[in-house]
Amino acid sequence: MKITIIGTGYVGLVTGACLAELGNDVFCLDVDSKKIEILNNGGIPIHEPGLEEIVARNRAAGRIRFSTDVEASVAHGDVQFIAVGTPPDEDGSADLQYVLAAARNIGKYMNAFKVVVDKSTVPVGTADRVAAALQSELTARGSDANFSVVSNPEFLKEGAAVEDFMRPDRIVIGCDNSPQGEKARGMMKKLYTPFNRNHERTYWMDVRSAEFTKYAANAMLATRISFMNELANLADHVGADIEAVRHGIGSDPRIGHSFLYAGCGYGGSCFPKDVQALERTAQDYGLNLLILQAVEAVNARQKQVLGNKILQRFEQNLKGRHFAIWGLAFKPNTDDMRAASSRVLLGELLRNGATVAVYDPVSMEEAKRVFALDFADTPELLSSIRFATSPMDALDGADALAIVTEWKAFRSPDFDQVKARLKQAIIFDGRNLFEPGVMTEIGIEYHGIGRSVLTRK
Ligand code: UDX
């Protein structure tokens, strides 16, 4: 099928590449000519396992192309995916200006029936606004071309996005019941046929429910994490081990094991933004989502948990202290540092007068960019950061190591070397990578999340 993808960010690029891999003829549009140039030169602007190979293969086969030409992009696809960013506004609601601009562009140039798919995560009711924006352009130029707006939210995890796209748990598609909606349903069904061969994975529903499903899924997952983080903090006080508790409750099939890991808070482009946007939508209707407000507040507090533990351990005085941080990305297998807990910890350490050496297997360049912004007003803090060349290099002379991201490369370090390099053998582990008992045996003072019972003397 002929597909256009508007927006070659993380979601758009993965969607375009995977649809090309399935044999479709894909046209990817972006307003950012630099991005398009990189893609046309065989580069990939993001780090996502497997993506580069798929893009290269399909580019060579002529099944995917990249362009800034809006008119050509509208002419190309019978199905037009809108996969542009929806950054949070000042008030936490999703900013729809890019989504609506994409809709207007389609309206400006389309001459035949188009299925317009909202792939970006957009508040409930956005499809109607997309339809209105597009229709106003058609009306302005007296065109009677018609279209249908469909909601097809993505459930891609960064670092596993290609796998998630190719082997989805579920595909959610919302269409309306108009004749155009029925036509769109047929086209979407055809497009997703390869995923439904063995068993049906598509959940068909109305447009608003599909839009809502995406927020509900992310809000539920964020809730589980904040809930476990809150319990972990209590576990530290009452002398229970949150990891034992996690196994104990996760074995109940009604609860299940996944997304119950206590840690130093969730980050990324989705959970923080989507939780806020859902709260904001509720407020528009005069409702307060009390649970989600708490989820957000608990997460903000949890991002400070490592800094607080460090401050407490060093008697609230970090002047002249030096620390190592392993892991800067908001999670492993990505260079994404949006809402990453590392940024909160780093700020806390630096503002308290410490110097810090940081290391991440992939996001060092992104870290340099992000920290320059975070500390734009305090250049003296920026100059107290050393960008290390390896995990071990980061440790030299540090009073303690703090682990923020659970990269595989950090899971089984040479502890003799760790001890030798650190000035003091102390680890603050924000992702509970190690067994507290083992650490004590090795001679490392260990502070996990919700596990202090195991290291208490
Ligand atoms: C998430 C959803 O999982 C995905 O379905 C949606 O499409 C986009 O948002 P992503 O943001 O890529 O994906 O990351 P995810 O793997 O879900 O992790 C989010 C954050 O939660 C990370 O910071 C991670 O460290 C944290 N997390 C996750 C925990 O703290 N504990 C857990 O048990 C799981």
DSSP class per residue in 96-146 = -HHHHHHHHHHHHH--S-EEEEE-S---TTHHHHHHHHHHHHHHHTT----
Ligand 1 probe mutation, 157, 171, 403, most atoms within 8 A of CB: 157
**Nearest ligand 1 atom to alpha carbon 260:** 33
Q: Please tell me the residue having the least CA distance from ligand 1 atom 8.
A: 270
- Residue 185 neighbours by CB under 8 Å, 6+ apart: 150, 173, 175, 204
Question: Cα-flanking dihedrals φ and ψ of residue 325, to 5°?
Answer: -120, 125
Residue with tokens 């602007």, as numbered in its chain = 45
From the number of C-beta atoms within 10 Å of its C-beta (0-12, 13-18, 19+), residue 301 rates as middle
Give the confidence band of 93 by pLDDT, cuts at 50, 70, 90: confident
pLDDT at 453: 77
pLDDT tens digits along 238-263:
999 999 999 999 999 999 999 999 99
C-alpha radius of gyration, the chain, whole number: 24
From the number of C-beta atoms within 10 Å of its C-beta (0-12, 13-18, 19+), residue 145 rates as middle
Q: 149 - beta bridge partners?
A: 116
pLDDT at 46: 87
Which residues form the catalytic set? 270
**Nearest ligand 1 atom to alpha carbon 121:** 7
**Position 454, amino acid:** L
Q: Is 408 annotated as a binding residue?
A: no
Answer yes or no: is pLDDT of 131 > 90: yes
Q: Please tell me the residue having the least CA distance from ligand 1 atom 21.
A: 266
Q: What is the mean pLDDT of residues 258-271?
A: 95
* Structural domains in the chain, sorted by start: 2-205 (3.40.50.720), 225-454 (3.40.50.720)
pLDDT tens digits along 220-241:
999 999 999 999 999 999 999 9
Nearest one of 406, 403, 338 to 374, comparing CA atoms: 338
Answer yes or no: is pLDDT of 150 > 60: yes
Measure 430 CA to ligand 1 centroid, in angstroms.
15
pLDDT mean across residues, the chain: 96
Structure tokens of 228? 């476990």
pLDDT at 90: 77
ipTM value for the complex? 0.91
**Position 291, amino acid:** I
3-state secondary structure (DSSP) of residue 383: coil
Measure 127 CA to ligand 1 centroid, in angstroms.
26
Q: Please tell me the residue having the least CA distance from ligand 1 atom 26.
A: 266
Give the confidence band of 456 by pLDDT, cuts at 50, 70, 90: low
Strand order in the sheet with 202-205: 64-67, 25-29, 2-6, 79-82, 114-118, 147-151, 171-174, 202-205
CA distance 12 to 15: 5
Q: What is the mean pLDDT of residues 297-315?
A: 98
Q: Is 303 annotated as a binding residue?
A: no
pLDDT tens digits along 49-67:
999 999 999 999 999 999 9
